[in-house]
Amino acid sequence: MFGLMVRFTCKDEDSATAFDTLVGETIEAIRRHEPGTIVYASHRVDGQPLQRIFYELYRDRDAFDAHEQTEHTRRFLAVREELLASVEVDWLDLQSGKGTTS
């Protein structure tokens, strides 16, 4: 299992709205085309209207690498740049959990 958590901070409210639209399009493509993506969830942060947190779990590093090469992910990575003030990534090493294979 391979995972990460990403905190995105949008530039302003209009950027946050556009980012949410982009995320919705991207997640729909992930659902249809990525069997190795186990969890790909976008969250709003209570009290922080410009922040979003992604929680992502992949079958393994190869599944993550495949995700990064898809057309929809490459589009997401390119378009998001104009909408964001910052991005913070935490790489995760799963120890144990419910709903996981570990």
23/52 Cα distance (integer angstroms)? 10
CA-closest candidate to residue 22, choices 88, 89, 74? 74
pLDDT tens per residue across span 50-98: 999 999 999 999 999 999 999 999 999 999 999 999 999 999 998 888 8
Mean per-residue pLDDT of the chain: 96
User: Could you tell me the pLDDT band of residue 101, with boundaries at 50, 70 and 90?
Assistant: low
Residue for token digits 């729909």? 28
Q: Return the CATH number at 52.
A: 3.30.70.100
Decide if 101 is inside a domain. Answer: no
Give per-residue burial for 25-43: e unless 16+ CB within 10 Å, then b.
ebbeebeeebeebbebebe
Decide if 15 is inside a domain. Answer: yes
Decide if 100 is inside a domain. Answer: no
Give strand pairing partners of 33. Answer: none
Decide if 97 is inside a domain. Answer: no
CA-closest candidate to residue 1, choices 75, 60, 80, 42? 60
